[in-house]
Amino acid sequence: MTDIRYTELHGKGVLSQDGRELGEVDDLVVNYETWQLQALIVKLERDLLEDFHMKKPMFGTQILKVSTGFVSGVSDKVILHKTMGELIELAREGGATGPVHDEPDEAPEEA
């Protein structure tokens, strides 16, 4: 088993299968019950926002949640096994990849 630390992933570039740079890893989504890593939060390159049908903010950029199931490998970059076209289509459909909002879907239940 090969381990990688968050500090090694944070800021690492993310490439689609067809070699296009999506952006960089900004955060992670971990299931708090199982402690499994579910997704990478990717800070998108500003010039891709139009392709993903996202508004360009005055400063900064938008983020995209990318399922860890799409990751084919990690070296100096995170390589996905989805093309840019496939990722855009999935984001439009709201599939396993999609825009991330600041508010959580559900609050954890109290024990």
Residue 9, φ and ψ in degrees, nearest 5: -85, -40
For the entire predicted model, the pTM comes to: 0.79
pLDDT category of residue 101 using cuts at 50, 70 and 90: very low
DSSP state of 92: H
Write out the E strands in 53-106.
63-67, 71-74, 77-80, 98-99
Tens digits of residue pLDDT in 62-91: 889 999 999 999 999 999 999 999 998 888
- Identify any residues that bridge with 28 across adjacent strands, giving them in sequence order: 40
DSSP state of 108: P
